[in-house]
Chain A
Amino acid sequence: MQLDRARVTIRPRSPWEALDLGCRLAARHRRLLALAWLALTVPVFSLISLLCWNAPTLALLLFWWGKPLYERLALHILAQALFDHPPSIGQALRAWPGLLRRQWLASLTWRRASLMRSFDLPVTQLEGQAGRARQQRLGLLHREDGRAARWLTVVGAYVETCLVLGAVSLLLLMVPRSAGDSWHWAQWLLGPPIPGRLWLQHLANAFYVLVLAVWGPIYVACGFTLYLNRRTHLEAWDIELVLRALCQRLAPLVVLGLLLAFMLTPPPALAADAAPAEQPRVSVSTAHQAIEALLQRPPFENIETRARWHWRRGDPSPAPAAAPAPHAAANPSEGLARAAEILLWAALAGCLAWLGWHHRLRARQWAARLARRRTPPHQALPPLFAQDLAPERLPMDVAGHAEQLWASDPRQALALLYRGLLSRLVHDYKLPLRAADTEAQVLAKVAALQLRGLDDFSQKLTWHWQAIAYGHRVPPAGTCEALCRGWRRLFPLQGASQ
Chain B
Amino acid sequence: MLATGPHPPPVDTLMLVETPEGIDLPLRPAGLVPRALAFTVDLAIRGVVLLLLALLLHPQGDMGVGALLLAIFLVNGWYMVLFEVLHQGRTPGKQLLGLRVVLDDGTPIGWSASLLRNLLRAADMLPLGYALGITSSLLHPAFKRVGDLAAGTLVVYQDAPPPVLRWPEVAPAPAPFALAASEQRALLELVQRQANLAPARVEELAALLAPALGVPAQQAMARINGIARAWVGPA
Interface residues of A (CB under 8 A from B): 6-9, 14, 16-17, 19-21, 23-25, 27-28, 148, 151-152, 155, 158-159, 161-163, 165-167, 169-170, 173, 214-215, 218, 222, 233-236, 238-240, 242-247, 250, 253-254, 257-258, 261, 267-268, 271, 275
Contact A239 B189 (CB under 8 A): yes
* Residues in chain A near residue B211, CB distance under 8 A: 247, 254, 258
Q: Known contacts A162-B128, A236-B193, A242-B182; is A9 also within 8 Å of B11 by CB?
A: yes
* Residues in chain B near residue A161, CB distance under 8 A: 129
With both beta carbons as reference points, the residue of chain B lying nearest to A162 in the complex is identified as B129
Q: Known contacts A20-B29, A169-B127, A275-B177; is A240 also within 8 Å of B212 by CB?
A: no
Contact A16 B189 (CB under 8 A): no
Q: Given A21-B11, A243-B209, A246-B183, list of 7 further CB < 8 A pairs?
A: A28-B11, A169-B128, A239-B190, A245-B183, A246-B212, A250-B177, A275-B178
Give the interface SS of chain A, mostly helix, strand, loop or mixed: helix
Q: Would you call B139 an interface residue if the criterion is a C-beta within 8 Å of the partner chain's C-beta atoms?
A: yes
Contact B208 A162 (CB under 8 A): no
Shortest C-beta distance, A13 to chain B (Å), equals 8
* Residues in chain B near residue A151, CB distance under 8 A: 33, 37
Contact B129 A165 (CB under 8 A): yes
Interface residues of B (CB under 8 A from A): 7-8, 10-14, 28-34, 36-37, 97-98, 126-132, 134-135, 138-139, 141, 143, 157, 174, 176-179, 182-183, 185-186, 189-190, 193, 196-198, 201, 205, 208-209, 211-212, 214
A250–B201 alpha-carbon span in the complex (Å): 22
With both beta carbons as reference points, the residue of chain A lying nearest to B214 in the complex is identified as A267
* Residues in chain B near residue A218, CB distance under 8 A: 138
Shortest C-beta distance, B182 to chain A (Å), equals 6
Contact A16 B176 (CB under 8 A): no
7 sampled A-B residue pairs with Cβ under 8 A = A21-B12, A162-B129, A163-B135, A236-B205, A247-B211, A257-B176, A271-B177
Pick the contact of B157: A14, A236, A238 (CB < 8 A).
A14
Pick the contact of A163: B131, B139, B157, B208 (CB < 8 A).
B131
Contact B13 A239 (CB under 8 A): no
Contact B186 A271 (CB under 8 A): no
A78–B130 alpha-carbon span in the complex (Å): 28
* Residues in chain A near residue B205, CB distance under 8 A: 236, 239-240, 243
* Residues in chain B near residue A19, CB distance under 8 A: 31, 33-34
Contact A158 B36 (CB under 8 A): yes
Pick the contact of A236: B129, B134, B197 (CB < 8 A).
B197
A234–B14 alpha-carbon span in the complex (Å): 22
Contact B131 A162 (CB under 8 A): yes
Q: Known contacts A169-B128, A170-B127, A242-B183; is A24 also within 8 Å of B13 by CB?
A: yes
Contact B186 A24 (CB under 8 A): no
* Residues in chain B near residue A165, CB distance under 8 A: 128-129, 131
Contact A21 B33 (CB under 8 A): no
Contact A16 B127 (CB under 8 A): no
Contact B10 A16 (CB under 8 A): no
Contact A16 B201 (CB under 8 A): no
Shortest C-beta distance, A137 to chain B (Å), equals 13
With both beta carbons as reference points, the residue of chain A lying nearest to B196 in the complex is identified as A233
Shortest C-beta distance, B137 to chain A (Å), equals 9
Contact A243 B134 (CB under 8 A): no
With both beta carbons as reference points, the residue of chain A lying nearest to B37 in the complex is identified as A151
A243–B214 alpha-carbon span in the complex (Å): 15
* Residues in chain B near residue A243, CB distance under 8 A: 186, 190, 205, 208-209
Contact B127 A173 (CB under 8 A): yes
A158–B129 alpha-carbon span in the complex (Å): 9
Q: Which of A238, A246, A253 has the most CB of B within 10 A?
A: A246
Q: Known contacts A155-B37, A246-B179, A250-B212; is A21 also within 8 Å of B131 by CB?
A: no
* Residues in chain A near residue B174, CB distance under 8 A: 268
A218–B208 alpha-carbon span in the complex (Å): 36
With both beta carbons as reference points, the residue of chain A lying nearest to B8 in the complex is identified as A28
* Residues in chain A near residue B132, CB distance under 8 A: 166
A65–B215 alpha-carbon span in the complex (Å): 57
Contact A16 B30 (CB under 8 A): yes
* Residues in chain A near residue B11, CB distance under 8 A: 7-9, 21, 24-25, 28
Q: Known contacts A236-B205, A242-B182; is A268 also within 8 Å of B30 by CB?
A: no
A167–B214 alpha-carbon span in the complex (Å): 66
Contact B29 A6 (CB under 8 A): no
Contact A162 B177 (CB under 8 A): no
* Residues in chain B near residue A163, CB distance under 8 A: 131, 134-135
Contact A247 B176 (CB under 8 A): no
* Residues in chain A near residue B126, CB distance under 8 A: 166
A246–B189 alpha-carbon span in the complex (Å): 15
With both beta carbons as reference points, the residue of chain B lying nearest to A21 in the complex is identified as B13
A247–B211 alpha-carbon span in the complex (Å): 9
Shortest C-beta distance, A259 to chain B (Å), equals 12
A6–B197 alpha-carbon span in the complex (Å): 22
* Residues in chain A near residue B8, CB distance under 8 A: 28
A238–B193 alpha-carbon span in the complex (Å): 12
* Residues in chain A near residue B196, CB distance under 8 A: 233
Shortest C-beta distance, B104 to chain A (Å), equals 17
A218–B32 alpha-carbon span in the complex (Å): 11
Q: Known contacts A166-B131, A267-B214; is A16 also within 8 Å of B34 by CB?
A: yes
Contact A20 B13 (CB under 8 A): yes
Shortest C-beta distance, A302 to chain B (Å), equals 13
* Residues in chain A near residue B179, CB distance under 8 A: 246
Q: Which of B33, B141, B196 has the most CB of A within 10 A?
A: B33
Contact B36 A23 (CB under 8 A): no
Q: Known contacts A159-B32, A170-B127, A243-B209; is A238 also within 8 Å of B189 by CB?
A: yes
Q: Which of B29, B128, B182 has the most CB of A within 10 A?
A: B128
* Residues in chain A near residue B13, CB distance under 8 A: 17, 20-21, 24
Contact B37 A9 (CB under 8 A): no
Contact A24 B12 (CB under 8 A): yes
A214–B209 alpha-carbon span in the complex (Å): 45
Contact A159 B134 (CB under 8 A): yes
Contact A253 B127 (CB under 8 A): no
With both beta carbons as reference points, the residue of chain B lying nearest to A20 in the complex is identified as B31
* Residues in chain B near residue A7, CB distance under 8 A: 7, 10-11
* Residues in chain B near residue A152, CB distance under 8 A: 33
Contact B183 A155 (CB under 8 A): no
Shortest C-beta distance, B34 to chain A (Å), equals 4
* Residues in chain A near residue B157, CB distance under 8 A: 14, 16-17
